[in-house]
Structure 1
Amino acid sequence: MPITDHHIVEWINVLEELPLTLEAMVNNLTQEQLATPYRPGGWTVRQLVHHIADSHHHSYVRFKWALTEDNPTIKPYLEKEWAALFDSKSAPVFLSLQHLGAVHAKLVYLLKGLDKKDLQRTFMHPDGNTKTTLAENIGRYAWHGSHHLAHIQNLVLRMNWTT
């Protein structure tokens, strides 16, 4: 299915709203609730918040690389290992919420200024040598943020927590 201008606008709106939506979802959770895995064997809410910020930080850099280099090969990171680091397990979520807010403000500003030619610029992911357009990457990260937000929302509903 081709990516339309409507998709791009919709996905940018999702990215623009994500930081405040996530903050509203987790701001009033207790430390015990933040330490609750969203599923058995899964990451805790705290780890999810830090993961979203870490992942979207990487995405921002990938956009910049693709806009300034010709089909660069990006550097992947070991997200499971990052989520296992002590800061992902213990740091206050407000640190990543503030970081995500700043990264998304810059990202959304950048994305709103891209033209059709920019959206077709690409980067290469070394895992499988997959080429990704910036248009595709906008959709991927809109989905990514929404996907993890849904994990938290479903946990909050399942546990009958009020936020």
Structure 2
Amino acid sequence: MGVKDFKKDYVMAQDLEKLKYPIGLFHYPEKLDEVQINFWINQLEKFPQELLAVTSNLSIPQLAAQYRPGGWTVRQVIHHVADSHVNAYTRVKLTLTEENPVVRPYDEERWAELPDAKNGEIDLSVAIIEAIHHRLIITLRNLSLKDFERKYTHPALNRSLTLGYLVGNYAWHGQHHLAHITAALSGT
């Protein structure tokens, strides 16, 4: 492989990384405070309306658009967010009611290939997201800072994480996939 080929491969890898992570990776702060938690809660609260604004009245070709080659379609992304945020809600409940519970991972790639994710109406998943986020916000707004230090264990990551991490990660997750949808739709 020559220098030109290496540079070309490097640029292509960088471009693919930007398509995969258009807003970058999630970064958890060294010290968690109420300002950061409230920022994430506000993001979670606004997310369903942001999603609805971007996805209402989409055509069949728009729902079939992909944000990157080999990536999920807009339809699959929307259903994935619903699946993922239902899991997040369950993890919040488990973390608040059990001591360091072990949460169950799921194969998101395989879930995205199931018939409901590939062919289902997006309105159902948007409604799930609206309902889950509404209930999640009620819970999160009534927690103390200490509650966000509660831990759960994620066996796929082989470590314990805090509720604060979970909240931040899912606030990021919504924005991450909103950027995917926006990118896919900009190409249609």
Give the TM-score normalised by structure 2. Answer: 0.82
- Residue in 1 that maps onto 2:76: 47
- Residue 33 of structure 1: which of 32, 40, 62 is its match? 62
Distance in 2 separating the partners of 1:63 and 1:28: 32
- Residue in 1 that maps onto 2:137: 108
- Residue 65 of structure 1: which of 86, 94, 112 is its match? 94
Deviation at 1:158, TM superposition (A): 3.6
Give the TM-score normalised by structure 1. Answer: 0.95
Deviation at 1:130, TM superposition (A): 1.4
- Residue in 2 that maps onto 1:151: 180
Deviation at 1:3, TM superposition (A): 1.4
Distance in 2 separating the partners of 1:96 and 1:5: 30
| Partner amino acid, structure 2, of 1:40 | P
- Residue in 2 that maps onto 1:117: 146
Distance in 2 separating the partners of 1:35 and 1:155: 9
- Residue in 1 that maps onto 2:170: 141
Which blocks of at least 5 consecutive residues in structure 2 are unaligned? 1-29
Bigger CA radius of gyration: 2
Distance in 1 separating the partners of 2:58 and 2:110: 25
| Partner amino acid, structure 2, of 1:82 | W
Which blocks of at least 5 consecutive residues in structure 1 are unaligned? none
| Partner amino acid, structure 2, of 1:71 | N
Q: What CA RMSD, in Å, does the superposition of the two structures yield over aligned residues?
A: 0.9
| Partner amino acid, structure 2, of 1:86 | P
Distance in 2 separating the partners of 1:157 and 1:32: 12
- Answer yes or no: is 1:76 the counterpart of 2:105: yes
- Residue in 1 that maps onto 2:157: 128
Distance in 2 separating the partners of 1:10 and 1:137: 14
Number of matched pairs: 159
Deviation at 1:31, TM superposition (A): 1.2
- Residue in 2 that maps onto 1:2: 31
- Residue in 2 that maps onto 1:24: 53
Kindly indicate whether the alpha-carbon contact (under 8 Å) linking 2:33 and 2:145 is maintained by their aligned counterparts in 1: no
Kindly indicate whether the alpha-carbon contact (under 8 Å) linking 2:65 and 2:185 is maintained by their aligned counterparts in 1: no
